[in-house]
Structure 1
Amino acid sequence: MPSAALPATRRDDYAALHESFRWDVPETFNLAEACCTRWARDPATAQRIAVHAEHEDGRRASHSFADIQAAANRLSRALRALGVGRGDRVAIILPQRIETVVAHMAVYQLAAIAMPLSMLFGPEALAYRLEHGGARVAIADEGSLDNLLAARGECAALETVIGVGAAAAGADHGWEALLAAGPADFTPEPTRADDGAVLIYTSGTTGQPKGALLPHRALLGNLPGFVCSQNWYPQDDDVFWSPADWAWTGGLWDALMPALYFGKPIVGYQGRFSAEVAFTLLERYQVTNTFLFPTALKQMMKACPRPAERYRLRLRALMSAGEAVGDTVFAWCREAFGVIVNEMFGQTEINYVVGNCAAQYDDGRLGWPARAGSMGRPYPGHRVAVIDDDGRPCAGGEIGEVAVCATDRAGHADPVIFLGYWRNEAATEAKYASHDGLRWFRTGDLARFDDDGYLWYEGRADDVFKSSGYRIGPNEIENCLLKHPAVSNCAVVPSPDPERGAVVKAFVVLSPGVARSPAADAALVAELQQHVRGRLAPYEYPKAIEFIEQLPMTTTGKIQRRVLRQLEAERATTPVSAD
């Protein structure tokens, strides 16, 4: 495991943190043991609340580590009786509910592999992942059962469907009946830290989704980043909440599992996200630590600019990732919540490798100053570089691809790095570059280092484009547009142009209450163009602006600019009707 606790840092202790940090990953390690069993086994912590569960219809319940362990033991026994063994894949298609937590612990105890899948997936998306991953058992509730059953015919390996709640009647086995059938004791299978634990399918930018196989040790690799981004978590009375889906890395690795690893409660909310729901949950459970996507923060900022006037909050740490927060939202969070946003960068394959730690101490010093708009600095234990197309490190200030070394500065293997893509060795190898005897994982994200070692995001490699010879990234333009009160959200992409190659185009979601008419729209377009022109370089202002109801988003809250790029490319090749 990582050293028991990262040392309390002073403002300029960043270099010392890296120099003193050493990985200490045990040969044997199991997620269920680390995140539940050890707390449930100890009489002093067995009855400690692990999960506060709330449904949007008003139902609420709190569950202790002992409760979760007993249920996980019963489910492990039931799954074993159904033939699930070491290395078998069990699909978990559930929202933020207590059964999701129990299912993960039960699968890990069996040395099987959990396959978390989003509730948003339709039959086709489910069928591909279930078949490709070879899932033997799938667990679903009433929100996902119909889509699962529709996909089942294409999944040759899928032998059993377990229904949770109202889904029990349409499944092979009901959750409650399965758990009631056996005793609440179970002897877990031993696992090595390098054994596969979780198979998560990435959304991908081209081709079919790829399954990233994560080992048990990956959680340990996440911990320095989690501790830092949550301002030296854990502290007394910490309570965590995030709307991030537990089926994705952001919800599973950045919220649920690390909170449980440290024996602290997390809030699970089963329902749709809204700004009002977010503020209500933060107040009701007196949440101290959270992870909120920039999209969520923008909604909250627009809906309630001054939350202190309506809600009693006690946030002490706020992490954000997925998109750049931007200085407008950064400043609002500092003013509205009294906390500085710790932006973080990671991916499913190598999560929590870069970020900030704006820990405020009694003497007023920042433990790790965050800079608005920066991805932050590499977290202790991770060696990060910006590399060129040939794998060579770029000079400071140069834009290149963010890459993570397979070993730390002491030559020890970085535990955060995934095992590889499921059934796709070629794709796994394509993610690596070698230079001077070091092996680097390529992220596909572009950034540059400043003189102080902070990384500044420049977009996905396929998001950056050229217009009239100028290299343009979308983030700076989007952040500028968001400062205008009429803009709720936006995305910038290239629009093909015969003279310039491409022009800057902005798709804009307007704030509620903005008046619409042809004349008003034309006036607002001109106003937004001048808004950007007066703040950025002349070649960066959007020469085309289109107002839309909503932006295409991934299930993890990221803007799908590639969808908009494709739309513009198709429009450019479609003949205009003569009618």
Structure 2
Amino acid sequence: MADLADLHAQYLTEDLDEAGNPRSFALQCPPGFNFGYDVVDRLGALTPDRRALRWCNDEGEQRTYTFGEIQRLSDQAASYFLSQGIRKGDRVLLILKRHAQFWWAITALHKIGAVVVPATNQLMAYDLVFRLSEADISAVVCTLEGQVAHEVEQAEAQLGRSLVKMGVRGTRDGWADFDGGLADAAPFVRPAAADLPAVDDPMLLYFTSGTTAQPKMVVHDFSYPIAHIATAKYWQRVDPEGLHLTLSETGWAKSVWGKLYGQWLMETCVDVYDFDRFDAVRLLEHLQDARVTTFCAAPTVYRFLITHDLSRYDLSALQHCTIAGEAMNPVVFDTFKALTGLELKEGYGQTEMTLAVVTNYWQATKAGSMGKPSAGYDVGLRTEDGTEDGTEAAPGEDGEICIRVPEGARPIGLFAGYAGDPATTQSVWHDGWYHTRDLARKDEDGYFWYVGRTDDMIKTSGYRVGPFEVESVVMAHPAVVECAITAAPDEVRGTVVKATIILAAGYEPTDALKKDIQSFVKHRTAPYKYPRVIEFVEAMPTTISGKIRRVVIRADSERAAREGGPAAGGGDKG
């Protein structure tokens, strides 16, 4: 194995204690930093034979790519994108599941300064029309597996304008062959300095859900990858000679948290297990056979893993495990530790930022706690006391997790704003603070414990679901007059999507109608959004002004769960 280049040390300053653990750290981003050139290409030149990516799928395909190969493939992809008319500032949608092509496609787009818009393959035409229109997407690189390419075509037809469409893993009429295009691409010529992106130019755009509107567009600039040094080094504790697996599809921000930026800055090989349906046994077999050394997943995944006899699998290569995406039940922590000897180190962040609260590898773990504020941010727990931004919450008191943002000094890793929506940006980012709208309380030791959302966001099985997105689809069903989407407790998933519905005249509240509405939603938006629980009611709890009080609905669901009754109206438990 080639020597390490120690690239990350160029961007990180640490103050270490007697044990060699950071008391604090600071990140630096030099002018003109570009992950494609300054990380991928440098590693390709300095350590060309070091493995960068190990990819496999359930069909038995397997391939390992070195940094030298990733450099070459990303250059070919950059040349091909330019031949397709993609230029600096253009917004390109990537729908690539867990295909290896994602890694050289995103790197290539960084090199030419295009804005990458990752998306999940679960989106339907309804979801895509909104994203293509709002983000002004000019090109799509899409898997040809499954039906999502068809959904893109349907959305394109509804938009009434043509997209540059490039297909991966297959061929399809009307789609350019991305893989073939790379093979025939002309040598890549790095753009002139004047044509390269600046550090504060937009690099990534993620759609993230809201409660009273359609998804917002979170923008990160070219400094963002540097913030994930802390993610990989301090939280995930990646081993440069090991193999790191974060179980995320590339359409989600968690993917670049755990499968790209910090891991390659730490020169670790990223493990990619390309599957369609989660299967705990297959995942355990993969952890065993691939000899994964560090692993990160949502609590739901660990809940499924501990239902199996882990002694049947050789997990001896596992050194460190992390958990994020939703609050963790302490029972999961205790059971996993008893079975494996490994503690689950929890962390908290958002699409809008990186880890703000975290249990780093050297810190004592409190089961169920997110950990302590990261040194990468100035984190406050703010209470509402009648002032604009409140005051710092005392131990045991609920407060909103906020990030201090001094004028002109946005910390590396915090988003630049919501694209095209200054009003929403201002609503969460004002008077020197970014407001996460997540509630927590801290104990006497300074550990944070998650409480819930200040708004109505639903987190289920690691997904983030905005009620308005689902309500818009449910309301299109002819039987529905009014609908409120909330979270409901669930023994397996922690939280599921619940629809509280008032029916139109002539419809009866039957189990058959529940299944029909569920099927209706499944076929019109991403499957993870459909309501697993449906309750028919005569009237909604409302405010005097007529706004639905979702907090009352949620409270009713929680009370029903505590009393051991049916799951708040019943529904699909599959």
TM-score (norm 1): 0.76
Is the partner of 2:81 in helix, strand or coil?
helix
Aligned partners of 1:352, 1:127: CA distance in 2, in Å?
31
Q: Does the 8 A contact of 1:243 with 1:273 survive in 2?
A: no
Offset at residue 53 of structure 1 (A) = 1.1
The answer for the alignment partner of 1:292 in structure 2 is 297
Distance 1:202 1:57, change over 3 A: same
Correspondent of 2:380 among 385, 390, 400: 385
The answer for the alignment partner of 2:411 in structure 1 is 414
Q: Does the 8 A contact of 2:12 with 2:27 survive in 1?
A: no
Is the partner of 2:250 in helix, strand or coil?
coil
Indicate the percent of aligned positions where both proteins have the same amino acid: 22
Aligned partners of 1:497, 1:544: CA distance in 2, in Å?
21
The answer for the alignment partner of 1:461 in structure 2 is 454
Offset at residue 113 of structure 1 (A) = 0.6
Distance 1:236 1:423, change over 3 A: closer
Amino acid at match of 1:349: E
The answer for the alignment partner of 1:568 in structure 2 is none
Equivalent residues in 2 for 1:150-549 (5 A)? 150-155=154-159, 158-166=162-170, 168-188=171-191, 190-231=196-237, 233=238, 235-271=239-275, 272-302=277-307, 304=308, 306-357=309-360, 359=361, 367-389=362-384, 390-396=388-394, 397-407=396-406, 412-434=409-431, 439-462=432-455, 487-491=491-495, 504-506=555-557, 529=562, 545-546=567-568, 548-549=571-572
Q: CA RMSD in A?
A: 3.0
Query: Unaligned 5+ residue runs, structure 2?
Result: 1-7, 458-488, 501-534, 543-550
- State the number of aligned residues: 477
Distance 1:185 1:79, change over 3 A: closer
Equivalent residues in 2 for 1:556-567 (5 A)? none
Is the partner of 2:138 in helix, strand or coil?
strand
Amino acid at match of 2:410: A
The answer for the alignment partner of 1:97 in structure 2 is 99
Distance 1:184 1:264, change over 3 A: farther
Distance 1:30 1:173, change over 3 A: same
The answer for the alignment partner of 1:574 in structure 2 is none
Offset at residue 204 of structure 1 (A) = 2.6
Aligned partners of 1:394, 1:77: CA distance in 2, in Å?
52
Q: Does the 8 A contact of 2:97 with 2:249 survive in 1?
A: yes
Aligned partners of 1:463, 1:420: CA distance in 2, in Å?
21
Aligned partners of 2:552, 2:122: CA distance in 1, in Å?
37
Q: Does the 8 A contact of 2:13 with 2:27 survive in 1?
A: no
Is the partner of 1:442 in helix, strand or coil?
strand
Per-residue CA deviation, residues 467-514 of structure 1 (Å, 9 max, x unaligned), is xxxxxxxxxxxxxx98xxxx434438999889x966845589xxxxxx
Per-residue CA deviation, residues 408-456 of structure 1 (Å, 9 max, x unaligned), is 9xx953111111111111111111131xxxx111111111122221111
Is the aligned partner of 1:33 residue 2:40? Answer: no
Amino acid at match of 1:39: L
The answer for the alignment partner of 2:519 in structure 1 is none
The answer for the alignment partner of 2:121 in structure 1 is 119
Q: Does the 8 A contact of 1:383 with 1:407 survive in 2?
A: no
Aligned partners of 2:232, 2:557: CA distance in 1, in Å?
34
Is the aligned partner of 1:142 residue 2:144? Answer: yes
Q: Does the 8 A contact of 1:506 with 1:544 survive in 2?
A: no
Per-residue CA deviation, residues 119-169 of structure 1 (Å, 9 max, x unaligned), is 110111112101111111111121321111111123466531011121x33
The answer for the alignment partner of 1:81 in structure 2 is 83
Is the partner of 1:352 in helix, strand or coil?
coil
Amino acid at match of 1:321: A
Offset at residue 240 of structure 1 (A) = 0.7
Aligned partners of 2:17, 2:250: CA distance in 1, in Å?
31
Amino acid at match of 1:403: C
Is the aligned partner of 1:106 residue 2:129? Answer: no
Aligned partners of 2:445, 2:558: CA distance in 1, in Å?
34
Aligned partners of 1:114, 1:160: CA distance in 2, in Å?
14
Is the partner of 1:385 in helix, strand or coil?
strand
Q: Does the 8 A contact of 1:245 with 1:252 survive in 2?
A: no
TM-score (norm 2): 0.77
Is the partner of 2:492 in helix, strand or coil?
strand
Amino acid at match of 1:173: A
Offset at residue 463 of structure 1 (A) = 5.5
Q: Does the 8 A contact of 1:35 with 1:262 survive in 2?
A: no
Q: Does the 8 A contact of 1:96 with 1:245 survive in 2?
A: yes
Offset at residue 197 of structure 1 (A) = 0.6
Offset at residue 83 of structure 1 (A) = 1.9
Distance 1:337 1:506, change over 3 A: farther
Amino acid at match of 1:151: A
Aligned partners of 1:550, 1:413: CA distance in 2, in Å?
44
Aligned partners of 2:414, 2:318: CA distance in 1, in Å?
31
Aligned partners of 1:419, 1:326: CA distance in 2, in Å?
33
Is the partner of 2:260 in helix, strand or coil?
helix
Correspondent of 1:4 among 12, 23, 26: 12
Q: Does the 8 A contact of 1:242 with 1:292 survive in 2?
A: yes
Offset at residue 186 of structure 1 (A) = 3.2
Distance 1:36 1:156, change over 3 A: farther
Is the partner of 1:402 in helix, strand or coil?
strand
Correspondent of 2:573 among 529, 537, 550: 550
Query: Unaligned 5+ residue runs, structure 1?
Result: 360-366, 465-480, 509-524, 530-540, 552-579
Q: Does the 8 A contact of 1:275 with 1:300 survive in 2?
A: yes
Aligned partners of 1:56, 1:22: CA distance in 2, in Å?
41
Q: Does the 8 A contact of 2:240 with 2:266 survive in 1?
A: no
Is the partner of 1:386 in helix, strand or coil?
strand
Aligned partners of 1:402, 1:127: CA distance in 2, in Å?
33
Offset at residue 103 of structure 1 (A) = 0.7
Amino acid at match of 1:265: C
Is the partner of 2:180 in helix, strand or coil?
helix
Amino acid at match of 1:425: P
Q: Does the 8 A contact of 2:199 with 2:223 survive in 1?
A: yes
Offset at residue 193 of structure 1 (A) = 2.2
Distance 1:413 1:150, change over 3 A: same
Aligned partners of 2:50, 2:160: CA distance in 1, in Å?
42
Aligned partners of 2:80, 2:156: CA distance in 1, in Å?
21
